[in-house]
Structure formats: structure tokens, C-alpha cells
Structure 1
């Protein structure tokens, strides 16, 4: 049974919505995701020909969990304030590695993989910027009084910084995209109430 593409996209949605509450969280999870998935791909390329299907599943889970745990420990040790922005969702990277393995991501051409990674990374950064600006009223604000960041408006909408706000922001982005790419209706095709 071949896994559906909907499953792979749903797994990525958890990482996208959960870690994009701020620009720092989006950048941190994007860097961690890039390193872990890159190392996972290199290691599995060497292991894949030597494994059976069952062995590939076990090796895939073990390798992905090890790499994401090591990356999480590294960020806890050296970048703790950054890790607080996305720490809960760092372990989802391991699950995403396994889903990508069985979805056929590594059989795609390098250009296609790069395009998909660039699109998902761009969406993650865009969502992080929009949620931080709408949620806190500025970009790069810190809790200390020494750096106020770029203040665009005071207050903000704190709901947008939470995960339900991520669904709202993503729905607004999808609606904007739909409005931009929607073909113009001919006068004959106009809907009449």
C-alpha cells in the first residue's frame, strides 16, 4: 500500500502551524529541519540498499529519532532561548523524516526536492513573520526593555500567536492565493442568485 500524499502534507502541517508563532521559531525549526533531513537523507542513502523492507522501517525510525533528538539537545545546550520558540515541535521532525522516506521524496529529482523544500521553507518563514507581526504588533520584539524590535502597531492580536491563530492566518493566505490565481469569469459564466 502506497502512502497517500495527504498524509505527508498533514504531517508537515503540524510542524508548520506549531512552530511558526514567531520569526525566531520559524527560522530555528527551518534550520533544524534542514540539517536533520539532510543528514537523514545521506545516512539512508548508504543504508537503503543493504536493508530489507522491515529493516528499512526500523532503521528509518531509529535514525530519524536519533538525529532529531541530537539536534534538539544541541539547541537546548547552545541556543536555549531559540529552542523555547519551537522546542515542542522538534520531535515532529523525526516523524516527518519517516513519512518522507515512505512517500517517495528521496526518489524525486534533486531539482524537484529543492523546489518543494524552498516552497515549504518560504511558507514557514512567511507564516512566522505574519503571525509575529499580527500577534505582537511588531517584528523582533524581546521581553527585555533594551530591544523593542520593529514596532508596527501597539498591542497586536495575541490569538494569532497561538496555534488556532495559525489556522486563521493560513486560511487568509490560502484565500489570498485563491483570489490571485482564480481565473476571470466570463460574463456568460456569471453566477446569478
Structure 2
């Protein structure tokens, strides 16, 4: 399994959960807590399990941690819980994919960089969507606006990073 799958699972929250910065911040905090708790739990289990049992244990641990976090989020703020929706459940799938791709065997700096990059993207895109939404273009705060804005940002990044030949 290549790394493009592990990164592509981060796209749905970037598009759907960035309608407000509060939802994005909550999802990012939940992502960081679950990823680190999952990594610590699997570090204890990984050595004690045969490879065929690791997938089942990995799935159960990820689902359990995410379910506990969802129940805590629901008790903390039902409004935030409703806005975060399915995107929080994708964290469990992300944990399993990251385990399968060897993410938890990498250096702690790589793990920290991924969490920081995901948080920066979530918060940056949500702030941009809210600013555009407050300026009168309310499509930016809806999910289709997230697709459009992310597409424009990717196109701008590719155009900016492409080296122009000097004549």
C-alpha cells in the first residue's frame, strides 16, 4: 500500500469539516489524541500479536478509541458533534491505514510533522472559507465550496511551485 492512500484519506475532512474553524480545530484535536493513543496502544500490542491478528486488533483498537472520543465529543458539545459528523469516524480508518503503511514505525518527527501539517491545512482552509463566507460568498462555507476552494488552492500551488524557464 502506498503513501498516497494514507494522504488521500485526509481529503474528506479537509473539504467537509472546514466549514468553520471550531469544527476544524475540534477534529484536529481529536485526530491528534486518537492517533497518539492508537500508536501507544499498538506499540504494546504489536509485539505480542502474530501478523494475522494485528489487523483485527488494529481495527478494534481504532474503532474503540474513535467511539470513545465521539461519545466524549457528544457529551461535551452536541452542536460540534453534529457538525463533525462522519469525518470523526474516518479517523479510525486513518489509524488502520497508517498502521498498515508503517507510519508508526517512522521517527516521531515524521509523525509530528504529519499531525502539524494536517492541523495547519484544516485550520487554514477553515479560516479561508469563513473569511470568504463572511464577505458575502456563502457558497464557500458549504461542502461544494470546499471542493472548489481546495481545487483552486491546489492549482495555485502547482502554478506557483512550477519552475518558470528563464530566457
> TM > 0.5 between the two?
yes
In terms of fraction of residues, the more helix-rich structure is 2
Task: Name structure 1 gaps, 5 residues minimum.
Answer: 138-152, 188-193
Q: Structure 1 residue 131 and structure 2 residue 129: aligned?
A: yes
Shift of 1:85: 2.2
> Which deviates more, 159-168 or 89-98?
159-168
Quick check: which has more Rg, 1 or 2? 1
Residue pair 1:16, 1:124 contacting (<8 A) in 2 also: yes
Report the RMSD for the aligned CA atoms in angstroms. Answer: 1.4
Establish whether residue 174 from structure 1 lines up as the match of residue 157 from structure 2: no
| 2:105 matched residue in structure 1 | 107
Give the number of the structure with larger relative contact order, counting CA–CA contacts within 8 Å between residues 6 or more apart: 2
Shift of 1:182: 2.3
Distance in 1 between residues matched to 2:89 and 2:9, nearest whole Å: 12
In 2, the alpha carbon distance for the partners of 1:161 and 1:54 equals 44
In 1, the alpha carbon distance for the partners of 2:58 and 2:149 equals: 34
* TM-score scaled by length of structure 2: 0.93
State the TM-score, normalized to the length of structure 1. Answer: 0.81
Gapped regions of structure 2 (runs ≥ 5): none
Mean CA deviation greater in 173-182 or 46-55: 173-182
**Large movers: runs of 4+ above 3 Å:** none
